[in-house]
Structure 1
Protein backbone atom coordinates (compact mmCIF):
# COMPACT_ATOMS: atom_id res chain seq x y z
CA UNK A 1 0.00 0.00 0.00
CA UNK A 2 0.96 3.67 -0.07
CA UNK A 3 2.78 6.05 2.25
CA UNK A 4 0.54 9.06 2.85
CA UNK A 5 1.53 12.32 4.53
CA UNK A 6 -1.25 14.14 6.40
CA UNK A 7 -0.52 17.83 7.06
CA UNK A 8 -3.00 19.58 9.36
CA UNK A 9 -2.58 21.79 12.42
CA UNK A 10 -5.64 20.25 14.11
CA UNK A 11 -4.68 17.24 16.23
CA UNK A 12 -8.14 15.64 16.03
CA UNK A 13 -8.22 15.75 12.24
CA UNK A 14 -4.74 14.27 11.96
CA UNK A 15 -5.69 11.40 14.26
CA UNK A 16 -8.98 10.74 12.47
CA UNK A 17 -7.45 10.69 8.99
CA UNK A 18 -4.57 8.54 10.25
CA UNK A 19 -6.97 5.99 11.74
CA UNK A 20 -9.06 5.79 8.56
CA UNK A 21 -6.06 5.47 6.23
CA UNK A 22 -4.30 2.96 8.49
CA UNK A 23 -7.44 0.82 8.41
CA UNK A 24 -7.16 0.87 4.61
CA UNK A 25 -3.64 -0.55 4.86
CA UNK A 26 -1.68 2.64 4.18
CA UNK A 27 1.36 3.88 6.10
CA UNK A 28 0.55 7.32 7.47
CA UNK A 29 2.98 10.09 8.45
CA UNK A 30 1.70 13.16 10.32
CA UNK A 31 2.80 16.79 10.26
CA UNK A 32 1.21 19.68 12.12
CA UNK A 33 2.88 22.46 10.12
CA UNK A 34 4.77 23.21 6.93
CA UNK A 35 8.21 22.82 8.54
CA UNK A 36 7.46 19.24 9.59
CA UNK A 37 5.89 18.53 6.19
CA UNK A 38 9.07 19.70 4.41
CA UNK A 39 11.24 17.38 6.50
CA UNK A 40 9.01 14.35 6.00
CA UNK A 41 8.71 15.07 2.27
CA UNK A 42 12.50 15.18 1.97
CA UNK A 43 13.14 12.04 4.04
CA UNK A 44 10.33 9.69 3.00
CA UNK A 45 9.03 10.92 -0.36
CA UNK A 46 5.38 9.99 0.32
CA UNK A 47 3.14 8.62 -2.42
CA UNK A 48 0.40 11.16 -1.66
CA UNK A 49 -0.10 14.22 0.57
CA UNK A 50 -3.27 15.44 2.25
CA UNK A 51 -2.56 19.14 2.83
CA UNK A 52 -4.62 21.58 4.89
CA UNK A 53 -4.84 25.10 3.47
CA UNK A 54 -5.05 27.18 6.63
CA UNK A 55 -2.06 26.60 8.94
CA UNK A 56 -0.41 29.00 11.40
CA UNK A 57 3.13 29.18 10.01
CA UNK A 58 2.96 28.63 6.25
CA UNK A 59 -0.38 28.05 4.55
CA UNK A 60 -0.93 24.98 2.38
CA UNK A 61 -1.15 26.87 -0.91
CA UNK A 62 2.21 28.54 -0.24
CA UNK A 63 3.79 25.16 0.58
CA UNK A 64 2.26 23.65 -2.56
CA UNK A 65 3.66 26.51 -4.66
CA UNK A 66 7.07 26.03 -3.04
CA UNK A 67 7.11 22.33 -3.91
CA UNK A 68 5.96 23.07 -7.45
CA UNK A 69 8.57 25.78 -8.11
CA UNK A 70 11.43 23.65 -6.75
CA UNK A 71 10.53 20.46 -8.60
CA UNK A 72 9.39 18.64 -5.45
CA UNK A 73 5.76 18.25 -6.51
CA UNK A 74 6.31 14.67 -7.63
CA UNK A 75 3.36 13.21 -5.73
CA UNK A 76 -0.40 13.91 -5.84
CA UNK A 77 -1.46 16.56 -3.32
CA UNK A 78 -5.06 16.74 -2.11
CA UNK A 79 -5.95 20.08 -0.54
CA UNK A 80 -8.30 20.24 2.46
CA UNK A 81 -10.12 23.16 4.05
CA UNK A 82 -13.30 24.12 5.81
CA UNK A 83 -12.84 27.85 5.33
CA UNK A 84 -11.11 28.39 1.99
CA UNK A 85 -12.73 30.51 -0.70
CA UNK A 86 -13.37 29.05 -4.12
CA UNK A 87 -10.72 31.41 -5.50
CA UNK A 88 -8.17 29.77 -3.19
CA UNK A 89 -9.22 26.31 -4.34
CA UNK A 90 -8.93 27.35 -7.99
CA UNK A 91 -5.44 28.72 -7.34
CA UNK A 92 -4.37 25.45 -5.69
CA UNK A 93 -5.52 23.35 -8.64
CA UNK A 94 -3.72 25.67 -11.06
CA UNK A 95 -0.50 25.21 -9.11
CA UNK A 96 -0.82 21.44 -9.27
CA UNK A 97 -3.15 20.08 -6.57
CA UNK A 98 -4.87 16.92 -7.77
CA UNK A 99 -8.09 17.44 -5.79
CA UNK A 100 -9.83 19.60 -3.19
CA UNK A 101 -11.82 18.27 -0.22
CA UNK A 102 -14.15 20.53 1.72
CA UNK A 103 -14.30 19.92 5.48
CA UNK A 104 -16.01 18.18 7.15
CA UNK A 105 -14.73 15.40 4.91
CA UNK A 106 -16.91 12.33 4.52
CA UNK A 107 -15.34 8.88 4.60
CA UNK A 108 -16.55 8.09 1.09
CA UNK A 109 -15.11 11.27 -0.45
CA UNK A 110 -11.81 10.85 1.37
CA UNK A 111 -11.26 7.28 0.21
CA UNK A 112 -12.37 8.10 -3.33
CA UNK A 113 -9.99 11.06 -3.60
CA UNK A 114 -7.09 9.07 -2.16
CA UNK A 115 -7.75 6.14 -4.50
CA UNK A 116 -7.95 8.43 -7.53
CA UNK A 117 -4.83 10.29 -6.47
CA UNK A 118 -2.80 7.11 -6.07
CA UNK A 119 -3.91 5.73 -9.41
CA UNK A 120 -3.16 8.62 -11.71
CA UNK A 121 -0.01 10.41 -12.77
CA UNK A 122 0.85 13.77 -11.24
CA UNK A 123 -0.05 16.52 -13.73
CA UNK A 124 2.61 19.10 -14.63
CA UNK A 125 2.55 22.22 -12.43
CA UNK A 126 0.10 24.85 -13.64
CA UNK A 127 1.48 28.05 -12.15
CA UNK A 128 0.43 30.32 -15.01
CA UNK A 129 -3.14 31.58 -14.88
CA UNK A 130 -5.55 29.86 -17.23
CA UNK A 131 -9.01 30.98 -18.36
CA UNK A 132 -12.08 29.50 -16.74
CA UNK A 133 -13.45 27.08 -19.32
CA UNK A 134 -16.30 24.61 -19.16
CA UNK A 135 -15.32 21.34 -20.86
CA UNK A 136 -17.47 18.46 -22.05
CA UNK A 137 -19.60 16.31 -19.79
CA UNK A 138 -20.15 12.58 -20.04
CA UNK A 139 -23.86 11.77 -20.39
CA UNK A 140 -25.48 10.95 -17.06
CA UNK A 141 -22.50 11.99 -14.88
CA UNK A 142 -22.85 14.20 -11.81
CA UNK A 143 -20.85 17.28 -10.79
CA UNK A 144 -19.69 17.18 -7.17
CA UNK A 145 -19.47 20.31 -5.08
CA UNK A 146 -15.67 19.98 -4.93
CA UNK A 147 -15.52 19.93 -8.73
CA UNK A 148 -17.77 22.96 -8.87
CA UNK A 149 -15.57 24.79 -6.36
CA UNK A 150 -12.25 24.01 -8.01
CA UNK A 151 -13.57 24.26 -11.58
CA UNK A 152 -11.70 21.04 -12.45
CA UNK A 153 -14.46 19.60 -14.57
CA UNK A 154 -12.23 17.61 -16.89
CA UNK A 155 -14.43 14.56 -17.37
CA UNK A 156 -17.58 15.93 -15.76
CA UNK A 157 -18.71 19.19 -17.33
CA UNK A 158 -21.89 20.99 -16.48
CA UNK A 159 -24.11 20.20 -19.48
CA UNK A 160 -26.19 17.10 -20.06
CA UNK A 161 -26.19 16.50 -23.79
CA UNK A 162 -22.93 16.79 -25.64
CA UNK A 163 -20.27 19.39 -26.31
CA UNK A 164 -19.83 22.84 -24.87
CA UNK A 165 -19.41 25.52 -27.49
CA UNK A 166 -17.57 28.83 -27.28
CA UNK A 167 -17.96 31.87 -29.48
CA UNK A 168 -15.53 34.65 -30.25
CA UNK A 169 -16.82 36.79 -27.38
CA UNK A 170 -15.74 34.20 -24.85
CA UNK A 171 -19.21 32.86 -24.10
CA UNK A 172 -19.96 29.24 -23.27
CA UNK A 173 -23.35 27.87 -24.22
CA UNK A 174 -24.15 25.00 -21.88
CA UNK A 175 -27.20 22.69 -22.02
CA UNK A 176 -28.31 22.73 -18.37
CA UNK A 177 -31.29 21.05 -16.73
CA UNK A 178 -34.75 21.73 -18.12
CA UNK A 179 -33.66 24.82 -20.04
CA UNK A 180 -32.24 24.36 -23.55
CA UNK A 181 -29.11 26.44 -23.00
CA UNK A 182 -27.30 28.37 -20.26
CA UNK A 183 -24.84 31.10 -21.16
CA UNK A 184 -21.86 32.09 -19.03
CA UNK A 185 -19.79 35.18 -19.73
CA UNK A 186 -16.20 34.00 -19.38
CA UNK A 187 -14.93 37.56 -19.81
CA UNK A 188 -16.47 38.56 -16.46
CA UNK A 189 -14.45 38.56 -13.19
CA UNK A 190 -13.87 35.10 -11.71
CA UNK A 191 -16.15 35.68 -8.72
CA UNK A 192 -19.05 36.76 -10.94
CA UNK A 193 -18.54 33.84 -13.34
CA UNK A 194 -18.34 31.45 -10.39
CA UNK A 195 -21.58 32.80 -8.89
CA UNK A 196 -23.34 32.42 -12.24
CA UNK A 197 -22.15 28.85 -12.53
CA UNK A 198 -23.07 27.95 -8.93
CA UNK A 199 -26.55 29.44 -9.31
CA UNK A 200 -27.14 27.43 -12.49
CA UNK A 201 -25.68 24.33 -10.82
CA UNK A 202 -28.04 24.49 -7.85
CA UNK A 203 -31.04 25.50 -9.97
CA UNK A 204 -30.43 22.46 -12.15
CA UNK A 205 -30.39 20.09 -9.16
CA UNK A 206 -33.44 21.78 -7.58
CA UNK A 207 -35.39 21.37 -10.80
CA UNK A 208 -34.20 17.79 -11.24
CA UNK A 209 -35.24 16.88 -7.68
CA UNK A 210 -38.55 18.82 -7.86
CA UNK A 211 -37.42 21.27 -5.18
CA UNK A 212 -36.56 18.59 -2.58
CA UNK A 213 -33.90 20.16 -0.36
CA UNK A 214 -33.12 16.79 1.20
CA UNK A 215 -32.29 15.18 -2.14
CA UNK A 216 -30.41 18.23 -3.38
CA UNK A 217 -28.32 18.23 -0.19
CA UNK A 218 -27.50 14.56 -0.77
CA UNK A 219 -26.67 15.13 -4.45
CA UNK A 220 -24.39 18.14 -3.86
CA UNK A 221 -22.78 16.91 -0.64
CA UNK A 222 -23.85 19.93 1.43
CA UNK A 223 -25.51 20.06 4.83
CA UNK A 224 -29.07 21.42 4.62
CA UNK A 225 -28.25 24.57 6.63
CA UNK A 226 -25.23 25.26 4.42
CA UNK A 227 -27.34 24.60 1.34
CA UNK A 228 -30.08 27.04 2.43
CA UNK A 229 -27.47 29.70 3.16
CA UNK A 230 -25.76 29.17 -0.19
CA UNK A 231 -29.05 29.35 -2.14
CA UNK A 232 -30.04 32.55 -0.35
CA UNK A 233 -26.62 34.05 -1.07
CA UNK A 234 -26.95 33.22 -4.78
CA UNK A 235 -30.50 34.56 -5.00
CA UNK A 236 -32.11 31.26 -5.99
CA UNK A 237 -35.93 31.42 -5.94
CA UNK A 238 -36.87 28.42 -3.75
CA UNK A 239 -40.62 28.86 -4.25
CA UNK A 240 -40.13 28.75 -7.98
CA UNK A 241 -37.91 25.67 -7.61
CA UNK A 242 -40.61 23.79 -5.73
CA UNK A 243 -43.00 24.45 -8.60
CA UNK A 244 -40.42 22.90 -10.94
CA UNK A 245 -40.28 26.02 -13.12
CA UNK A 246 -36.57 26.87 -12.98
CA UNK A 247 -34.92 27.83 -16.27
Structure 2
Protein backbone atom coordinates (compact mmCIF):
# COMPACT_ATOMS: atom_id res chain seq x y z
CA UNK A 1 0.00 0.00 0.00
CA UNK A 2 1.38 3.39 -1.01
CA UNK A 3 0.66 6.70 0.68
CA UNK A 4 -0.60 9.28 -1.81
CA UNK A 5 -1.39 13.00 -1.65
CA UNK A 6 -4.03 14.37 -4.04
CA UNK A 7 -3.96 18.16 -4.45
CA UNK A 8 -6.85 19.79 -6.32
CA UNK A 9 -9.08 22.79 -5.57
CA UNK A 10 -12.16 21.05 -7.02
CA UNK A 11 -13.78 18.97 -4.29
CA UNK A 12 -15.46 16.62 -6.78
CA UNK A 13 -12.14 15.71 -8.39
CA UNK A 14 -10.43 15.27 -5.02
CA UNK A 15 -13.14 12.91 -3.81
CA UNK A 16 -13.27 10.93 -7.06
CA UNK A 17 -9.50 10.42 -7.25
CA UNK A 18 -9.38 9.59 -3.56
CA UNK A 19 -12.10 6.95 -3.92
CA UNK A 20 -10.50 5.34 -6.99
CA UNK A 21 -7.04 5.21 -5.45
CA UNK A 22 -8.37 4.02 -2.09
CA UNK A 23 -10.16 1.20 -3.88
CA UNK A 24 -6.77 0.27 -5.35
CA UNK A 25 -5.50 -0.25 -1.82
CA UNK A 26 -3.64 3.03 -1.31
CA UNK A 27 -3.82 5.37 1.67
CA UNK A 28 -4.94 8.71 0.27
CA UNK A 29 -4.72 12.18 1.81
CA UNK A 30 -6.14 15.24 0.06
CA UNK A 31 -5.36 18.96 -0.03
CA UNK A 32 -7.56 21.71 -1.49
CA UNK A 33 -4.82 24.23 -2.30
CA UNK A 34 -1.08 24.88 -2.31
CA UNK A 35 -0.95 25.88 1.36
CA UNK A 36 -2.64 22.66 2.52
CA UNK A 37 -0.35 20.66 0.24
CA UNK A 38 2.73 22.44 1.61
CA UNK A 39 1.70 21.71 5.19
CA UNK A 40 0.95 18.06 4.41
CA UNK A 41 4.31 17.52 2.70
CA UNK A 42 6.22 19.26 5.49
CA UNK A 43 4.54 17.19 8.20
CA UNK A 44 4.31 13.79 6.51
CA UNK A 45 5.99 11.61 3.89
CA UNK A 46 4.32 10.33 0.74
CA UNK A 47 5.12 7.81 -1.97
CA UNK A 48 3.45 9.91 -4.67
CA UNK A 49 1.85 13.35 -5.08
CA UNK A 50 -0.84 14.15 -7.68
CA UNK A 51 -0.73 17.92 -8.10
CA UNK A 52 -3.20 20.15 -9.93
CA UNK A 53 -1.65 23.01 -11.92
CA UNK A 54 -4.36 25.65 -11.69
CA UNK A 55 -5.23 26.50 -8.09
CA UNK A 56 -6.45 29.80 -6.58
CA UNK A 57 -3.62 30.56 -4.14
CA UNK A 58 -0.61 29.30 -6.13
CA UNK A 59 -0.29 27.29 -9.33
CA UNK A 60 1.05 23.76 -9.10
CA UNK A 61 4.21 24.38 -11.11
CA UNK A 62 5.25 27.26 -8.81
CA UNK A 63 4.58 25.05 -5.78
CA UNK A 64 6.60 22.26 -7.38
CA UNK A 65 9.52 24.68 -7.92
CA UNK A 66 9.33 25.83 -4.30
CA UNK A 67 9.23 22.32 -2.85
CA UNK A 68 12.05 21.16 -5.11
CA UNK A 69 14.22 24.15 -4.20
CA UNK A 70 13.71 23.47 -0.48
CA UNK A 71 14.36 19.75 -1.06
CA UNK A 72 11.03 18.84 0.52
CA UNK A 73 9.98 16.43 -2.22
CA UNK A 74 11.25 12.89 -1.92
CA UNK A 75 8.72 11.14 -4.15
CA UNK A 76 7.37 11.27 -7.73
CA UNK A 77 4.90 14.02 -8.67
CA UNK A 78 2.19 13.69 -11.31
CA UNK A 79 0.80 17.00 -12.58
CA UNK A 80 -2.87 17.38 -13.53
CA UNK A 81 -4.64 20.04 -15.58
CA UNK A 82 -7.43 20.63 -18.05
CA UNK A 83 -5.92 23.78 -19.55
CA UNK A 84 -2.14 23.43 -19.46
CA UNK A 85 0.00 23.90 -22.56
CA UNK A 86 2.87 21.69 -23.70
CA UNK A 87 5.28 24.34 -22.44
CA UNK A 88 3.71 24.08 -18.96
CA UNK A 89 4.06 20.31 -18.98
CA UNK A 90 7.70 20.56 -20.07
CA UNK A 91 8.40 23.13 -17.36
CA UNK A 92 6.83 20.88 -14.72
CA UNK A 93 9.00 17.99 -15.90
CA UNK A 94 12.07 20.19 -15.58
CA UNK A 95 11.29 20.69 -11.89
CA UNK A 96 10.75 17.04 -11.11
CA UNK A 97 7.29 16.01 -12.36
CA UNK A 98 7.30 12.40 -13.55
CA UNK A 99 4.10 12.52 -15.61
CA UNK A 100 1.26 14.76 -16.73
CA UNK A 101 -2.46 13.92 -16.73
CA UNK A 102 -4.89 15.93 -18.81
CA UNK A 103 -8.40 16.41 -17.43
CA UNK A 104 -10.88 14.83 -17.65
CA UNK A 105 -8.73 11.94 -16.45
CA UNK A 106 -9.77 8.43 -17.41
CA UNK A 107 -9.49 5.75 -14.73
CA UNK A 108 -7.23 3.65 -16.97
CA UNK A 109 -4.84 6.54 -17.59
CA UNK A 110 -4.82 7.47 -13.90
CA UNK A 111 -4.00 3.96 -12.69
CA UNK A 112 -1.38 3.46 -15.41
CA UNK A 113 0.39 6.68 -14.45
CA UNK A 114 0.21 5.99 -10.70
CA UNK A 115 1.47 2.41 -11.03
CA UNK A 116 4.30 3.49 -13.34
CA UNK A 117 5.37 6.28 -10.98
CA UNK A 118 5.36 3.95 -7.96
CA UNK A 119 7.28 1.24 -9.80
CA UNK A 120 9.87 3.72 -11.10
CA UNK A 121 10.40 4.98 -7.56
CA UNK A 122 10.93 1.35 -6.49
CA UNK A 123 7.97 1.36 -4.14
CA UNK A 124 7.02 -2.28 -3.44
CA UNK A 125 4.00 -3.40 -5.40
CA UNK A 126 0.78 -4.19 -3.45
CA UNK A 127 1.12 -7.96 -3.84
CA UNK A 128 4.68 -7.97 -2.46
CA UNK A 129 3.68 -5.55 0.28
CA UNK A 130 0.71 -7.72 1.19
CA UNK A 131 3.00 -10.72 1.42
CA UNK A 132 5.34 -8.83 3.74
CA UNK A 133 2.45 -7.77 5.96
CA UNK A 134 1.18 -11.34 6.11
CA UNK A 135 4.59 -12.60 7.17
CA UNK A 136 4.97 -9.88 9.79
CA UNK A 137 1.51 -10.45 11.23
CA UNK A 138 1.71 -14.21 11.74
CA UNK A 139 2.27 -13.58 15.43
CA UNK A 140 0.23 -10.36 15.59
CA UNK A 141 -3.44 -9.55 16.18
CA UNK A 142 -4.46 -11.14 12.86
CA UNK A 143 -2.41 -14.31 13.42
CA UNK A 144 -5.48 -16.56 13.39
CA UNK A 145 -6.60 -15.18 10.03
CA UNK A 146 -3.21 -15.49 8.36
CA UNK A 147 -2.57 -18.98 9.70
CA UNK A 148 -5.87 -20.23 8.33
CA UNK A 149 -5.15 -18.70 4.91
CA UNK A 150 -1.54 -19.90 4.46
CA UNK A 151 -2.53 -22.93 2.42
CA UNK A 152 -4.94 -20.94 0.25
CA UNK A 153 -2.36 -18.26 -0.49
CA UNK A 154 -0.33 -20.90 -2.29
CA UNK A 155 -3.08 -21.02 -4.91
CA UNK A 156 -2.34 -17.45 -6.04
CA UNK A 157 0.08 -17.54 -8.95
CA UNK A 158 2.66 -14.77 -9.16
CA UNK A 159 2.60 -15.11 -12.93
CA UNK A 160 -0.81 -13.39 -12.93
CA UNK A 161 -1.14 -9.72 -13.87
CA UNK A 162 -0.79 -7.52 -10.77
CA UNK A 163 -4.42 -6.41 -10.60
CA UNK A 164 -5.75 -9.96 -10.99
CA UNK A 165 -3.39 -11.29 -8.31
CA UNK A 166 -4.36 -8.47 -5.95
CA UNK A 167 -8.07 -9.14 -6.51
CA UNK A 168 -7.55 -12.81 -5.70
CA UNK A 169 -5.67 -11.94 -2.51
CA UNK A 170 -8.32 -9.41 -1.41
CA UNK A 171 -11.11 -11.90 -2.08
CA UNK A 172 -9.30 -14.55 -0.06
CA UNK A 173 -8.56 -12.09 2.75
CA UNK A 174 -12.21 -11.04 3.02
CA UNK A 175 -13.45 -14.63 2.82
CA UNK A 176 -11.22 -15.63 5.73
CA UNK A 177 -12.20 -12.59 7.81
CA UNK A 178 -15.90 -13.24 7.24
CA UNK A 179 -15.49 -16.86 8.34
CA UNK A 180 -13.43 -15.90 11.39
CA UNK A 181 -16.02 -13.30 12.48
CA UNK A 182 -19.07 -15.47 11.73
CA UNK A 183 -20.10 -13.15 8.88
CA UNK A 184 -20.50 -10.12 11.13
CA UNK A 185 -19.98 -7.13 8.83
CA UNK A 186 -19.36 -4.80 11.76
CA UNK A 187 -16.56 -6.98 13.13
CA UNK A 188 -15.03 -7.49 9.68
CA UNK A 189 -15.09 -3.74 9.06
CA UNK A 190 -13.22 -3.13 12.32
CA UNK A 191 -10.72 -5.93 11.76
CA UNK A 192 -9.99 -4.99 8.14
CA UNK A 193 -9.85 -1.26 8.85
CA UNK A 194 -12.37 -0.54 6.08
CA UNK A 195 -15.44 1.65 6.33
CA UNK A 196 -18.60 -0.39 6.00
CA UNK A 197 -19.63 1.25 2.71
CA UNK A 198 -16.18 0.53 1.26
CA UNK A 199 -16.31 -3.02 2.63
CA UNK A 200 -19.71 -3.73 1.08
CA UNK A 201 -18.51 -2.33 -2.25
CA UNK A 202 -15.40 -4.53 -2.15
CA UNK A 203 -17.38 -7.65 -1.26
CA UNK A 204 -19.85 -7.03 -4.06
CA UNK A 205 -17.11 -6.21 -6.57
CA UNK A 206 -15.11 -9.35 -5.73
CA UNK A 207 -18.24 -11.54 -5.44
CA UNK A 208 -17.37 -12.70 -1.93
CA UNK A 209 -20.13 -14.84 -0.33
CA UNK A 210 -21.74 -12.90 2.54
CA UNK A 211 -23.04 -15.98 4.30
CA UNK A 212 -21.76 -19.54 4.85
CA UNK A 213 -22.53 -22.17 2.28
CA UNK A 214 -25.50 -24.30 3.26
CA UNK A 215 -24.66 -27.89 4.14
CA UNK A 216 -26.47 -30.46 2.13
Note whether the superposition's TM-score is higher than 0.5: yes
Which structure's residues are more often helix, by fraction? 2
Q: Distance in 2 between matches of 1:73 and 1:40?
A: 11
Following superposition of structure 1 onto structure 2, how do residues 55-94 of structure 1 map, counting pairs within 5 Å?
Answer: 55-94=55-94
Report the secondary structure of 1:46's partner residue.
coil
The residue number in structure 2 matching 1:112 is: 112
The residue number in structure 1 matching 2:32 is: 32
Following superposition of structure 1 onto structure 2, how do residues 134-145 of structure 1 map, counting pairs within 5 Å?
Answer: none
The reply on whether 1:95 has 2:80 as its aligned counterpart is no
Q: Distance in 2 between matches of 1:75 and 1:52?
A: 16
The residue number in structure 1 matching 2:44 is: 44
Aligned residues: 122
TM-score by length of 2: 0.55
- Once the two structures are superposed, what CA deviation does each residue of 1:191-225 show, in whole Å capped at 9, x if it has no partner? xxxxxxxxxxxxxxxxxxxxxxxxxxxxxxxxxxx
TM-score by length of 1: 0.48
Following superposition of structure 1 onto structure 2, how do residues 93-172 of structure 1 map, counting pairs within 5 Å?
Answer: 93-121=93-121
Report the secondary structure of 2:63's partner residue.
helix
Q: Cα distance, 1:82 vs. partner?
A: 0.2
Q: Distance in 1 between matches of 2:2 and 2:39?
A: 18
Q: Cα distance, 1:72 vs. partner?
A: 1.4
Report the secondary structure of 2:90's partner residue.
helix
Q: CA RMSD in A?
A: 1.1
Q: Cα distance, 1:48 vs. partner?
A: 0.3
- Once the two structures are superposed, what CA deviation does each residue of 1:68-88 show, in whole Å capped at 9, x if it has no partner? 111112110000000011111
Q: Is the CA contact 2:22–2:28 (under 8 Å) kept in the aligned structure 1? A: yes
The residue number in structure 2 matching 1:14 is: 14
Q: Distance in 1 between matches of 2:47 and 2:68?
A: 16
Q: Distance in 1 between matches of 2:90 and 2:73?
A: 17
**Any unmatched runs of 5+ in structure 1?**
123-247
Q: Distance in 2 between matches of 1:39 and 1:45?
A: 11
Q: Distance in 2 between matches of 1:106 and 1:94?
A: 25
Q: Cα distance, 1:121 vs. partner?
A: 3.0
